[in-house]
Structure 1
Amino acid sequence: MGLGPEGWGYDMLAATGTTVAVATCGFFTGAVLGCLAAAASFSRYVALRASAKAYTTILRGIPDLLVIYLFYFGSSSVISAVAALFGADGFIGAPAFITGALAIGVVSGAYQTEVFRGAVLALPRGEIEAGRAYGMPPLLLFRRIVLPQAARYAIPGIGNVWQLVLKESALISVIGLVELMRQAQIGSGSTRQPFSFYLTAAALYLLITFVSGRGFRLAERRAMRGIRRAV
């Protein structure tokens, strides 16, 4: 596992960077979808509330690996069909990084929807009613009252979703992305030392988890400054 010409250290570190990159893209994609779905769940329109409910129910009930396959082979079929119109022949695979990030983003968005929804429900109703009584339009009410306070309650749950996304990124190896888990498989197959590679992969995953966990805890403490907590 050295960093020299004969070692696999650089390959494992590069794969770790790919894991962090695809997990980060999927996480922020899920954050956008989660915010939209959470807002829809509070809408006065029945169709929007039903759509948000269907989104969270379906995506949390389907295995993550199945979602990745559906995104990859579905988008590959579309690309192949479009390419056939221009004379191309055969199957054209979709970019593994993009489809993988979108897949785990859609899945994580379902979980983040519930996190954001719970954070909004935890807000004191009096403050929202006071903002409405003051004449604040909905967007201003959201920006000045709902968003700053809901973010405080959402940080712990969002941290848990990040850990989930990080572990889901290992599933993207099935569509050809060389991330940390896939690189460990390649290295163990080439050297016939599976224990060393999988142990190294576990250590790198734990390192990412530890660093990101510390970041979320610091963000939570900073967000909760000046807030009295029940003992």
Structure 2
Amino acid sequence: MLDLFAFGDTGWGDELARGLAVTLALAATCFTVGVFAGLLLMLVRRKGRFSRAIVEFYVTIFRGVPELLVIYLFFFGTGIMVRSIAASFGYTDHINLSGFFLAALALTCITAAYSAEVFRGAAASIPQGQMEAARAFGFHPAKAFRLVELPQLLIVAVPGLGNIWLILLKDTALVSLTSVAELMRQSAVAAGATFRPFTFYAVAALIYFVISILSERGVSRLERRIAINEAH
């Protein structure tokens, strides 16, 4: 049994390790960019009725459409769109887009939509009187947001962002259907080659479980540290 997970030519340890690295890189990239984009969407929503309608439409679409369908639309549709744009400029050579890039783009858009809602809820919990006081002291709106609202916004949003990270971590398994060689894809290849599907899928489930437990503990520790700092 252990020989199946050995490193080198005799086992699948190398492949599973590379798949885990791709999974973590994909999740970390999409979470970082998606959270930043979600914060921007929250700010754009405040710019007026039209901007708010655009952001709400975006959020509704990416929260309402199944994640797998979004991934498929990006995976198959982006190439068509890019080739059409290139052809309009006279470029007819084959354009090969990275599967990792397309998967990251799809998951980032989904993460941004959920993050925007988390930040919107967090912002609603911050008393408006603080921003009014900052403006009364002559703070520029951007400076008031950076010094007064943003620190509190990030603190309140930590639990929600932690949940988004856990959801995103599991959603990375969906990109295996587009041939991105992450953990789930490598497990499927190993299962097919060795005719031991239960063994490899159980190991993959255990790896996801361990990462989720470590993530939850990290978020809980961060929340406790924030609570201690606020108490002082």
Aligned residue runs from structure 1 range 83-98, under 5 A: 85-88=90-93, 92-98=95-101
Equivalents in 1 of 2:45, 2:87: separation in Å?
39
Mean Cα displacement is larger for which, 20-29 or 151-160? 20-29
Between Structure 1 and Structure 2, how many residues are aligned?
Answer: 225
What is residue 158 of structure 1 aligned with on the other side?
A: 161
Q: Does 1:113 align with 2:116?
A: yes
More helix, by proportion: 2
Q: Do 1:29 and 1:102's aligned partners in 2 also have CA atoms closer than 8 Å?
A: no
Q: Does 1:22 align with 2:26?
A: yes
1:80-120 Cα offsets, whole Å, 9 max, x none, are: 4437944436xx54211011011011011111001011111
Q: Does 1:50 align with 2:53?
A: yes
Aligned residue runs from structure 1 range 133-172, under 5 A: 133-172=136-175
Aligned residue runs from structure 1 range 210-229, under 5 A: 210-228=213-231
1:173-227 Cα offsets, whole Å, 9 max, x none, are: 1221011111111000000001110011011111211222222222222223343
Equivalents in 2 of 1:55, 1:97: separation in Å?
23
Query: What SS is found at the alignment partner of 2:172?
Result: helix
Equivalents in 2 of 1:28, 1:98: separation in Å?
15
What is residue 196 of structure 1 aligned with on the other side?
A: 199
Structure 2 unpaired stretches of 5+: none
RMSD between aligned alpha carbons? Answer: 1.7
1:24-57 Cα offsets, whole Å, 9 max, x none, are: 11112211220111112223x1111111111111
What is residue 5 of structure 1 aligned with on the other side?
A: 9
Q: What amino acid sits opposite 1:3 in the alignment?
A: F
What is residue 174 of structure 1 aligned with on the other side?
A: 177
Mean Cα displacement is larger for which, 25-34 or 156-165? 25-34
Structure 1 unpaired stretches of 5+: none
Percent of aligned positions that are identical: 39
What is residue 44 of structure 2 aligned with on the other side?
A: 40
Query: What SS is found at the alignment partner of 1:54?
Result: helix
Mean Cα displacement is larger for which, 13-22 or 124-133? 124-133
1:146-172 Cα offsets, whole Å, 9 max, x none, are: 000111110000000001111111111
Q: What amino acid sits opposite 1:197 in the alignment?
A: F
- Scaled by the length of structure 1, what TM-score is found? 0.91
Equivalents in 2 of 1:154, 1:121: separation in Å?
11
What is residue 70 of structure 1 aligned with on the other side?
A: 73
Q: Do 1:11 and 1:183's aligned partners in 2 also have CA atoms closer than 8 Å?
A: yes
Q: What amino acid sits opposite 2:18 in the alignment?
A: A
Equivalents in 2 of 1:27, 1:114: separation in Å?
15
Equivalents in 2 of 1:205, 1:219: separation in Å?
21
Give the 4+ runs in structure 1 shifted more than 4 A.
none
What is residue 185 of structure 1 aligned with on the other side?
A: 188
Q: What amino acid sits opposite 1:59 in the alignment?
A: F
What is residue 130 of structure 2 aligned with on the other side?
A: 127
Q: Do 1:152 and 1:224's aligned partners in 2 also have CA atoms closer than 8 Å?
A: no
